[in-house]
Amino acid sequence: MAQPTDTNPTEGVLYIVSTPIGNLEDITLRALRTLKEVDLIAAEDTRHTRRLLVHYEIDTPTTSYFEGNQIQKGERLVARLKTGESIALVSDAGTPTISDPGYRLLIQCIDADIAIIPIPGPSACIAAASIAGLPLHNFVFEGFLSPKSGRRKRQLAELSEEKRTLIFYESPHRIVVFLQDVLDVFGDRQVSVARELTKKFEEVLRGTVTEAIQKFQETSPRGEFTIVIEGFLSRKE
Ligand code: SAM
C-alpha cells in the first residue's frame, strides 16, 4: 500500500478510516482500498463492521477494539504495527475517535513513533451541521453531555454564553429531557434536530427548542439524533 515518504518501511501504519453513518454508499474509494489492503481491521463491533465488509466483498481479518479492551488490545495492536503490519481502525459509524474509541490507540502509536494516516469521510456531526441552517464559520462540538440532568444542566450553563453554534449527540430516549434542559438553561433558541441522516427515515426539524420538544412529545423519538443549536445572541449581531 502506498505510504508517505517519511514512513519507516519496517513499521506498519495505523489508518483511521471513516465509514458510513447509515447509507453504505457513503464511503470513499480510498477507504475501500485501505480496508482491502491492510493486514487487519480493528473494529468497535466486528459483527457490525462485517455487514459493510460483506457488502463490498472485503475479506480482511477483523479484531475488536472497543472501550472495554482498549488498553491491552492497544498494546497488542502496537506490537503488530511494530512488526510491519498495517491496521485500519473503524468504529460502528462515522469517524473513529469522534465520540468513539481510538484516542488511546492514537496516543500509544504516537508514543511508539508509528505513522498514523486519516482516511476522511462521514461524521454525523459534520453532516448535521452542514444542513442546519445556522452559522458555521466556527462551531463547538460537544458530543454527548451527561445522561444525568443535574450534571447536564451544569454543562449547559457553562456553554450558555457561547456565541458559536453548538453541536450535540443525544440518544433517542433522552432527546426530550435534553431539549427541556436546553430550554431551561439557554432559552428558546433556534435548533436543528437531524434524525437518521443518510438512512430511510432521515428527517430534519428546524425551529425553536419549544417546537422541537412539542414534536418529540407527540411522536416518540426513534433512531439516531444530532442536535445543532444557535449560539448565544447569534442572530442579534
Ligand atoms: N464517530 C461517529 C461520527 O463520526 O459520526 C459518532 C459516534 S457516536 C457514538 C454516535 C452518535 O452520533 C449517535 O448517538 C447520534 O447522536 C450520532 N449519529 C450517528 N449516526 C447518525 C445519523 N445517521 N443521524 C444523526 N445522528 C447520528
* pLDDT band for position 12 (cuts 50, 70, 90): very high
Residue with cell 412539542: 214
Residue-averaged pLDDT of the chain: 95
Higher pLDDT: 237 or 140? It is 140
Note the pLDDT of residue 39: 98
Residues facing residue 226 across a β-bridge: 169, 194
Q: How far is the CA of 74 from the centre of ligand 1 (A)?
A: 24
Note the pLDDT of residue 5: 46
Q: How far is the CA of 167 from the centre of ligand 1 (A)?
A: 11
Q: Is 198 a pocket residue for ligand 1 (Cβ < 6 Å)?
A: yes
CB count within 10 Å of CB 12 equals 26
Residues facing residue 89 across a β-bridge: 16, 42
* pLDDT band for position 8 (cuts 50, 70, 90): low
* pLDDT band for position 190 (cuts 50, 70, 90): very high
Q: Is 124 a pocket residue for ligand 1 (Cβ < 6 Å)?
A: yes
DSSP tag of 229 = E
Q: How far is the CA of 12 from the centre of ligand 1 (A)?
A: 29
User: Count of residues for the chain?
Assistant: 237
Q: How far is the CA of 10 from the centre of ligand 1 (A)?
A: 36
Q: How far is the CA of 94 from the centre of ligand 1 (A)?
A: 7
Work out the average pLDDT over 15-41: 98
- CB contact at 8 A, 10 and 84: yes
Residue 172 contacts by C-beta under 8 Å, 6 or more apart in sequence?
221, 222, 223, 224, 225
190: enclosing H helix or E strand = strand 190-195
Q: Is 104 exposed, middle or buried (0-12, 13-18, 19+ CB in 10 A)?
A: middle
Ligand 1, atom 25, residue with closest C-alpha: 225
Q: Is 175 a pocket residue for ligand 1 (Cβ < 6 Å)?
A: no
Q: Is 100 a pocket residue for ligand 1 (Cβ < 6 Å)?
A: yes
User: Can you give the C-alpha Rg of the chain in angstroms?
Assistant: 20
DSSP tag of 111 = H
Which three three-digit cell numbers place residue 104?
488511546
Ligand 1, atom 19, residue with closest C-alpha: 124
Concatenating the DSSP letter of every residue in 153-176 gives: HHHHHHHTT--SEEEEEE-GGGHH
